[in-house]
Amino acid sequence: MLLGWYSYFEFTVEFCPGDIRLTPHESFDISRKILVQWTEPIPSSGFQPSRSTGPNLPQAFVGYGETIDINYTFEDDEARSISCKFAVSVDDVDDEPPVVTCPDDIITNITSVWHCEQIIWEEPGSNNVDIQLVSRSSSPGDCFDIGTTPVIYEFRDLASNTGYCQFSVTVLDVSPPEVLYCPPNTLHYTLPPGGKDSANVTWPQPKARDNSNSFLNQTMRTYPPGSSFAIGSTNVTYTFQDGSGNQAFCEFQVILSESTDPNPELYIITCPDSMTVDTTGIGEEITWDEPTTNQADLTFEYSSHLPGDIFPIGVTRVTYQFRDISTGNSATCSFLVAVQDTTPPVISSCPQSVNVDPDSSGISARLTWVEPTATDNSGSVQRIVRTSAPGDSFSARRNDETTYTISYVFSDPSGNREICEFELTVLAPEEEGTPPLEPVHTCPDTVITNTPANSQDAAVWWTEPRIVDSDSRVSWSRTHAPGSYFPIGTTEVTYSYEDENGMALTCSFDVIVRDVVPPKINNCPLGFNRTTSSSSISKFWTDPTASDNSGESPTTTIPSIEPIPVDGIKTFTYEFEDSSMNIAMCIFDVNVRANTDNTPPTIESCPGNIEVNATVDSDQVAAFWDLPTSLETDVTVVNNFNLGDMFPIGVTRVTYVFTDVAGNSDNCEFDVIVLGKK
């Protein structure tokens, strides 16, 4: 910096501003004056001035082409003096944009469990202190989606020339999908002796999930469930591929052999339903009634989990397998355990709202603060929104204070969010005379965001447009504020400004909320094993349904459902599509086998005939008996009378019918004999 002239003997002026030369923007009205401010000079250490002369305030209004000489003089009691002199001038129109350093394009791989990656960079800037940051589309530490996102910084110099820095952030997805369920390495089945040399074999559909937390359908499979397999060993492979081409595989063997057992069919009688529980920690202890079979000699082989295990947040498949050691026949029970995290992050050190004075320029204030942090019960938390960063510059408005809302948003892997908001109020600058008109207008570009899961809208933040019209008081309004919730689709946001002279200005931009969440399927079956004495079986299940975060009912594609023949396996696919073309599918198999069970249920404790006497004042009397029971657990019971029913005088037959899953039935019958009045 060029220092001004100063006089000295043994003492000096420790700081004296250099000549100040301003060049206004080409749109500047040269008939007006510009307010120029500086830092006051400081005498050297040891000099004790008793008198000083100079301007009352470190500022002056300078017209175009004008030069003003500024002189500060300091004098002590011994009549010694020191001076600081410099010139302030305004000339030559400045139409050159600011020159700033800009980071190179950033390319990185996604490493987090979110569908985005936190990116840090050294912010662009300039060694010219007269250049200020006006706006930026993203801040260091923001979370960027997979793909390429442009980052734009806007800067302004004292002549209101605008310069930009633009670079791109590219987040690559190189992580393969996660296979959530794959059948056991070996599926061993045994055929009856002297019969077929092949059989249809089914298994629960393998499932995989991408790091975007969305479920993937297989892109290729060598065999679908229900395919025909020959005796021997056959490899089955499922391939899952995400949108970036990353692949994961599910591989297992199907082994068929011939048995000496003429009745190799095994069935699981009870299997728990899939379950969903909430957690406030990193997981939850889950219990269930373990599955059982109707084969006394069937041996439990293995289970992937046990009741009382701790299940992490997410979806886990539980599998039980049973096997007959003598024949090699097996049966499987499989169900899902979903643990949902509904607890939002906890924010620490959210700053308090503050009031600040403008800096020496009189048109802005620069503020720093300690940024808030957050913790979450899942152990992972991400800052996904920051509308302003410490050290940002905030514009001031003459004769009126300006308030900015600063927002931080933190999210956990389950999409639970918590917000920290505080206000920064820039007070009106204290100025004398008529200040210059310096219109500054920045308007955001289109803002695009996605809806969180289970929500039909999204909170959207942006850096608010700023306008400085220090020549008069400016009133303004807006249709939406940062942090407002926007529905799925496109919404126009408008800011309107008008000064007391009737000059008006508007800023409009679009907020686009995309729905990327597929419909949520309710009551999707895991699959069915059924037996029948007929040649086929008709539909017996309830169609699954779906709901969508948009609040609209998804379009449902129902498969063609015809009678399923015996010894046939059929895969049914229900497809649900919302208005944003997100698709969810419910896929399950129905395996129909011939009924080889001809044994009726065994009834225990069937009561004998019961005699009761009618009362003197009634022709009916209540009768009671010991309830009949069956040794089998999976039976249905139908009866024509219940305990305590009223019976008339005479003989009444009571019948209980016990029916097992194979359709075999047996009756328990006895008479209730009501004797006449005595």
At 232, the pLDDT band (50, 70, 90 cuts) reads confident
Q: Over 70: is that where the pLDDT of 217 sits? A: no
Alpha carbon distance 280, 342 (integer Å): 7
pLDDT band at 669 (very low <50, low <70, confident <90, very high): very high
Sorting pLDDT into bands at 50, 70 and 90, what band is 372?
very high
Residue 307 predicted with pLDDT over 80: yes
What is the percent of the chain where pLDDT is above 90? 8
Max Cα–Cα distance, the chain, nearest Å: 142
Helix ranges, 385-438 (H)? none
Token duo for residue 633: 């657990």
Per the CB < 8 A criterion, the answer to whether 217 and 285 are in contact is no
- Residue 440 pLDDT exceeds 50: no
For the beta carbon of residue 670, count every other beta carbon within 10 angstroms.
17
In this predicted structure, the answer to whether residue 2 has a pLDDT above a threshold of 50 is: no
- Cα separation, 11 vs 74, in Å, equals 11
Q: Read off the pLDDT of each residue in 281-309 and give the average, rounded to a whole number.
A: 79
Q: Is the pLDDT of residue 441 over 60?
A: no
Mean pLDDT is lowest, of 99-103, 268-272, 579-583, for 268-272
183 or 112, which is more confident: 183
List, for residues 564-610, the tens digit of each pLDDT value.
Answer: 887 767 888 888 998 888 888 888 878 777 776 677 888 888 999 99
| DSSP 8-class letter at 436 | P
Residue 265 binned pLDDT confidence (cut-offs 50, 70, 90): very low
Could you give the 3-state DSSP secondary structure of residue 100? coil
* Sheet containing 132-136, strands listed edge to edge, beginning at the edge strand earlier in sequence: 106-109, 162-172, 147-156, 132-136
Beta strands in 157-264, from DSSP E residues, in sequence order: 162-172, 178-181, 186-191, 198-201, 207-209, 215-216, 220-221, 227-230, 232-241, 247-258
Q: Is the torsion defined by CA of 496, 499, 504, 505 positive or negative?
A: negative
Residue 218 confidence class, pLDDT cut points 50, 70, 90: low
Distance of CA 329 to the CA centre of its chain: 44
- Dist. CA 401–CA 398, nearest whole Å: 8
pLDDT score recorded for residue 197: 76
Q: Model confidence over 632-648: pLDDT tens digits?
A: 767 788 888 988 888 88
Q: Which residues contact 546 (CB under 8 A, 6 or more apart)?
A: 519, 520, 521, 522, 554, 556, 576, 584
Does residue 491 carry a pLDDT above 90? yes
For the cut 90, the answer to whether the pLDDT of residue 174 exceeds it is no
Region of residue 236 (phi > 0: left; psi between -120 and 50: alpha; otherwise: beta): beta
Report pLDDT digits (tens) over 334-358: 788 888 888 889 999 899 998 888 8
Backbone angles phi, psi at 113, to 5 degrees: -80, -10
Separation CA 58–CA 70 (nearest Å): 10
Using an 8 Å Cβ cutoff, are 78 and 142 in contact?
no
Whether residue 26 contacts residue 93, with contact meaning beta carbons closer than 8 Å, is answered with yes
Tell me the backbone φ, ψ of residue 161, rounded to 5 degrees.
Answer: -75, 140
pLDDT over threshold 50, residue 140:
yes
Is residue 365 predicted with pLDDT exceeding 90?
A: no
pLDDT at position 212, please? Answer: 59
Say what the pLDDT of residue 142 is: 85
Q: Which tokens go with 351?
A: 């700053």
Tokens 């500060």 locate to 72
CA-nearest of 388, 364, 390 to 468 is 364
Whether the per-residue pLDDT at 678 is higher than 70: the answer is no
The per-residue pLDDT for 192 is 62
547, 520 contact by CB (below 8 A):
yes
Contact 364, 440 (CB under 8 A): no
Highest mean pLDDT among 261-265, 399-403, 603-607: 603-607
Instruction: Name the amino acid, one letter, at 51.
Output: R
Mean pLDDT, residues 224-246: 85
Contact 242, 210 (CB under 8 A): yes
Mean pLDDT of 617-646: 83
Q: pLDDT of 47-82, one tens digit each?
A: 777 777 888 778 888 888 888 999 988 888 787 888
pLDDT tier for residue 266 given thresholds of 50, 70 and 90 = very low
For residue 159, what pLDDT is reported?
67
pLDDT at 530 over 80: no
Question: Measuring CA to CA, which residue among 287, 330, 341 is closest to residue 310?
Answer: 287
How far apart CA 288 and CA 633 sit, in angstroms, is: 18
Q: How confident is the model at residue 274 (pLDDT cuts 50, 70, 90)?
A: confident
Which range, 392-401, 552-561, 591-600, is most confident?
A: 552-561
Q: In the beta sheet, which residues pair with residue 315?
A: 338
CB 50 within 8 A of CB 82: no
pLDDT of residue 660: 77
Print the SS3 string covering 256-320. EEECCCCCCCCCEEECCCCEEEEECCCEEECCCCCCEECCCCCEEEEECCCCCCEEECEEEEEEE
Other CB atoms within 10 A of residue 224 CB: 16
- Of 289-303, 411-425, 504-518, 613-627, which gets the smallest average pLDDT? 289-303
Percent of the chain residues topping a pLDDT of 70: 82
Residue 3, pLDDT score = 39
Give the pLDDT band of residue 289 (cuts 50, 70, 90): confident
pLDDT of residue 115: 66
Task: Provide long-range contacts, Cβ within 8 A and 24+ apart, for 115-118.
Answer: 115/145, 115/146, 115/211, 115/212, 115/213, 116/143, 116/144, 116/145, 116/146, 116/171, 116/382, 116/384, 117/143, 117/144, 117/171, 118/142, 118/143, 118/144, 118/382, 118/383
**Residue-level pLDDT at 93:** 65
Q: Higher-confidence residue: 295 or 247?
A: 247
